[in-house]
Amino acid sequence: MISGTALIFYGSAFAGKTHLTMGMVLEPPHLDPTAGAAAAIDEVVYANVFEGLT
């Protein structure tokens, strides 16, 4: 009985979360990779494009 009640409370606590917020140490100054490929732009491209291919 107690474990069933706890399960109901835990389930409702996690059910409402639908957003994922991510942060990066480096933020690109702009999103044009041809203007100046800083380390931040390389990191964004690698994380979003190349990791999905592996």
Structure tokens at 8: 């109901």
Q: Is residue 9 part of a domain?
A: no
Virtual torsion, Cα 43, 49, 52, 25, nearest 10 deg: 20
Domain that holds residue 33: 20-54
Q: Is residue 1 part of a domain?
A: no
Q: Is residue 26 part of a domain?
A: yes
Q: Is residue 6 part of a domain?
A: no
Report the alpha-carbon distance of residue 47 to residue 22 in Å, rounded. Answer: 12
Q: Is residue 34 part of a domain?
A: yes
Q: pTM for the whole thing?
A: 0.27
Q: pLDDT at position 27, please?
A: 65
Q: Is residue 35 part of a domain?
A: yes
pLDDT tens, the chain, 54 aa long: 455 555 455 555 556 667 777 666 666 666 666 666 566 667 777 777 777 776
Counting every residue written for the chain, the total comes to 54
Q: pLDDT at position 10, please?
A: 55
State how many domains the chain has. Answer: 1
Q: Is residue 7 part of a domain?
A: no
